[in-house]
């Protein structure tokens, strides 16, 4: 009986320790992401992120593990946008969506935080990212794909993600042809997405 009691206490202690460690990693990741998004929003900030300031894989996965957290930190906002815009697509397409968000960050005409970029236009129901205004639940349904989305968000914030869109700030599904596309320069076709950037550097 005593052995069972000791084993139960040990298991509880280990679980509690893991929960504390996970919460610490979550906080560390969110704090690092806030600093990294601020640097990314600054002009000419294309410098490598020091290893001590970079978000680690375990840290990023500790953020929003169930895909139900409020959209109030850079990692959650970026990962959810990647997930909802490109889940079920190739990794390259998911990475390209991340690049569009990061390319907008701090650019004239766009906000200077990841969450504000993702949510831009919601006040007038003219969302830049349609999933944010579609009236559906934004909670994650596929854990594995969300895990991939968070890893891509980590790389984007750490500036280790190659921008295959060549500076794009807009994209569309290649099966549709919106009127706005003719106003911009096509930069790349990646999977089923087509990417664009402003003709004269103007963006909104």
Q: Judge whether 120 lies within some domain.
A: yes
Q: Judge whether 203 lies within some domain.
A: no
The answer to whether 79 touches 39, Cβ cutoff 8 Å, is no
Angle (nearest 5°) at CA 122 between 59 and 31: 20
Q: Domain tally for the chain?
A: 1
Q: Judge whether 122 lies within some domain.
A: yes
Tell me what pLDDT residue 168 has: 95
Q: Judge whether 51 lies within some domain.
A: yes
* Predicted confidence (pLDDT) per residue in 93-148, tens digit: 999 999 999 999 988 889 999 999 999 876 766 777 878 777 677 789 899 999 99
* Predicted confidence (pLDDT) per residue in 191-202, tens digit: 999 999 998 765
What are the backbone angles phi and psi of residue 193, rounded to the nearest 5°? -100, 145
Q: Judge whether 138 lies within some domain.
A: yes
Q: Above 50 in pLDDT, residue 10?
A: no
Q: Judge whether 105 lies within some domain.
A: yes
Q: Judge whether 204 lies within some domain.
A: no
User: Could you list the residue range(s) of the whole structural domain that residue 175 is in?
Assistant: 2-198
């Amino acid at each position: 009986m005593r052995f069972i009691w000791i084993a139960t206490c040990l298991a509880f202690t280990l679980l509690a320790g893991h929960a504390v460690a996970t919460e610490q990693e979550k906080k560390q990741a969110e704090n690092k992401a806030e600093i990294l998004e601020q640097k990314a929003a600054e002009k000419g900030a294309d410098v490598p992120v020091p290893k001590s300031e970079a978000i680690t894989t375990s840290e990023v996965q500790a953020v929003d593990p169930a895909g139900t957290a409020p959209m109030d930190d850079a990692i959650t906002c970026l990962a959810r946008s990647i997930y909802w815009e490109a889940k079920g697509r190739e990794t390259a397409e998911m990475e390209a969506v991340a690049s569009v968000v990061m390319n907008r960050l701090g650019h004239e005409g766009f906000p200077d935080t990841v969450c504000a970029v993702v949510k831009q236009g919601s006040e007038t129901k003219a969302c830049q990212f349609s999933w944010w205004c579609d009236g559906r639940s934004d909670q994650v349904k596929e854990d594995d794909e969300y895990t991939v989305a968070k890893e891509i968000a980590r790389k984007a914030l750490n500036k280790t993600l190659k921008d295959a869109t060549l500076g794009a700030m807009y994209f569309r599904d290649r099966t549709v042809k919106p009127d706005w596309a003719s106003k911009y320069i096509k930069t790349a076709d990646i999977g089923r997405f087509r990417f664009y950037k402003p003709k004269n550097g103007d963006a909104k």
